[in-house]
Amino acid sequence: MSLKIATSQFAVSADIVQNKTYIIAQIQSAKEQGCGLIHFPECSLSGYAGVDFPSFAGFDWNLLDQQLQEVLSFVKSQDIWVILGSSHLSKASSKLFNSLYVINNKGRIVDRYDKLFCAGDDRLKLGDLAHYTSGNHFTTFDMKGIKCGLLICHDYRYPELYRELKKKEVDIVFHSYHAGNMDATHQAFMEAQVGEENVGFNHGKTYPEITMPATMVSYAANNYMWISCSNTSAKESCWASFMVRPDGVKVGKLTKNEAGLLITDIDTEKEYYDSTELWRGRAMKGIYFSGGEIDSFNCLKCGEVVVTNYCGNCGQKAGKREFSLKGLFSK
């Protein structure tokens, strides 16, 4: 199955109307270039709380809803699917989420993904968690026979999420980021953490520059899936939006700090190099070896299948049963 995708990049800001203007212009451009779907950055409509604006105190939710409705109406006129980042206020729970809306070509929101791993501390005072509530579900959808999944920014730090999407047979992940609009103080802090003496060994001076693109390349190859990475271009942006194909090769990248669209034709039936194809399924089941089958047996303690010297579930040594006084007298 094939699909032409536009991966967006523009300077997301606290100005909701300006964000909407960028969004509508890029939707129109994507449609004119024959795209069936356009993918936007994290919080691209609302702006990103804690970075683009200090907090939700005094936030104009009515304005956000008005601009969203304008976007939905325009999408309907353009007959294109949209993955749109925005802050979302749940009317049912009054909770705030960092979300991606799945908007179909009829201009209807057909699903929503809420960022699972919001960055921050356990006191909910720093990062995302000072402003947003973490989500509790994966979101996938089908478009023209292509299975699509959604993730947001800090989710990239958790490889388990990509494995779960692989189990759901996802063909492409739309991963929205807001790694930009960095002030000089924060940039200097991150550069100091990396260390000037290490810059020459890495593709960048900050953690987002170094780790985010590299991780996306790795996840694409490890899970054999396309990944669209959409980022804000607000200065200072850490990296430019790009697309990775299932063998871990980048097939396009925009220019950092500049608005633009990356157009990519994907074909999920085309075969790419995949060195883990034969044994990936085995590893996902917790069987950590390749080649022919080896002797296995059930753990004497918990009953799980054991193929090494120790049970991967409870740690019991193979061939030796662990007893306790409580266990003996409870039988």
Domains of the chain in sequence order: 2-267 (3.60.110.10), 293-331 (no CATH)
Average pLDDT over residues 20-30: 98
Q: CA–CA separation, 127 vs 120, rounded Å?
A: 4
Beta strands in the chain (DSSP E): 2-9, 37-39, 81-89, 96-103, 109-114, 140-143, 146-152, 172-176, 226-230, 242-244, 250-253, 260-267, 297-298, 305-306
Name, in order, each residue with C-beta under 8 angstroms of 275's C-beta and a sequence gap of 6 or more.
none
Asked which of 4-13, 48-57, 133-142, 291-300 is least confident by mean pLDDT, the reply is: 291-300
pLDDT tens readout for residues 192-221: 999 999 999 999 999 999 999 999 999 999
Q: Residue 303: what pLDDT?
A: 75
Q: Is the pLDDT of residue 309 over 90?
A: no
Q: Could you give the angle at which helices 207-223 and 184-194 cross, rounded to 10 degrees?
A: 70
Closest listed residue to residue 243, CA positions, set 234, 231, 252: 252
Phi, psi of 99 (to 5 degrees): -125, 165
pLDDT for position 183: 86
Q: Are 260 and 9 a contacting pair, CB within 8 Å?
A: yes
Using CA atoms, how far apart are residues 139 and 129, in angstroms rounded to an integer?
21
Measured CA to CA in angstroms, residue 267 lies from 13, 165, 260 at distances of: 34, 19, 23
Does this model's pTM top 0.75? My answer is yes
- Predicted local distance difference test score (pLDDT) of residue 314: 84
How long is the chain? 331
Give the contacts of 76 (CB within 8 A, at least 6 positions apart): 105, 106, 107
- Model confidence pLDDT, tens digit, residues 230-239: 999 999 999 9
pLDDT mean over 187-195: 93
Q: How far apart are CA 69 and CA 146, in angstroms?
A: 27
The token duo for 247 is: 């063998």
In this structure, the strands spanning 81-89 and 37-39 are parallel
With 90 as the cut, is the pLDDT of residue 83 above it? yes
The pLDDT of residue 92 is 87
Residue 292: CB atoms within 10 Å: 5
Q: What is the pLDDT of residues 243-302, one digit of tens each?
A: 999 999 999 999 999 999 999 999 999 999 999 999 999 999 999 999 876 666 677 778
pLDDT digits 0-9 by tens, 124-176: 889 999 999 999 999 999 999 999 999 999 999 999 999 999 999 999 999 99
**pLDDT tens-digit map of 84-125:** 999 999 988 889 999 999 999 999 999 999 999 999 998 888
CA dihedral 205, 193, 134, 102 (to 10 degrees): 0
Average pLDDT over the chain, rounded to an integer: 93
Residue 241 has pLDDT above 60, yes or no: yes
Q: 271 Cβ partners below 8 Å, 6+ apart?
A: none
* pLDDT score, position 325: 47
Q: What percent of the chain has pLDDT over 70?
A: 93
Residue range 133-142, pLDDT digits in tens: 999 999 999 9
Please, what is the end-to-end C-alpha distance for the chain in angstroms? 58
Share of the chain above pLDDT 90, in %: 82
- Look at residue 321 in the predicted model and tell me its pLDDT: 52
